[in-house]
Amino acid sequence: MIDHLGIKVRNFEASKKFYLAALGPLGYSVVMEFGGIAAGLGIGRKPDFWISQGEPSGPIHLAFASDKRAPVDAFYKAAMAAGAKDNGPPGVREHYHPNYYGAFVFDLDGNNIEAVCHLPQGKAKATAKKAASKKAAPKKAAPKKAAPKKNSAKKTAKRRG
């Protein structure tokens, strides 16, 4: 499992603004920042995507996962409004698999950035509902079996004898 990934960006502040806008719909924010030259973005408190000032080593392809399709649409819209170049609007890419719903943009340095949902439409909602109902009504613990009475076998044996 990949823990985190970092890329160099030519203009740190511009790219920070870009990624905040583009990844906001996926739940990302800036979690850590160092001296205005490096920032770690993530969902919650753990950064898994870092940008730092420097010369990009070459265009990379990076995909961010979403468990719903709507955030993929929102990612594309936000990224385009924040200065991205189009590399493929939101939609199913059946050549990867029948439920591969992705959107592709080129970021400010020409990296191919994607948001992708692998779940069939409607499935994510159903899964979320299931999880919520499990939380609301946790399974009751199975009742404990009554402990056998001590020496009951012996007593029975005595009575018989």
Ligand X SMILES: N[C@@H](CCC(=O)N[C@@H](CS)C(=O)NCC(=O)O)C(=O)O
- Applying CB under 6 A, the residues found at the interface with ligand X are 61, 87-88, 93, 104, 112
- Nearer Cβ to ligand X (15/87): 87
3-state secondary structure of 126: helix
Quote the least distance from Cβ 18 to ligand X, whole Å: 18
3-state secondary structure of 86: strand
- Nearer Cβ to ligand X (22/38): 22
Quote the least distance from Cβ 132 to ligand X, whole Å: 31
Q: How many CB atoms lie within 10 A of CB 25?
A: 20
Quote the least distance from Cβ 63 to ligand X, whole Å: 6
Quote the least distance from Cβ 6 to ligand X, whole Å: 18
Burial 123-142 (b: 16+ CB within 10 A, else e): ebeeeeeeeeeeeeeeeeee
- Nearer Cβ to ligand X (44/88): 88
Q: How far apart are CA 65 and CA 73, in angstroms?
A: 12
Residue with CB nearest ligand X? 88
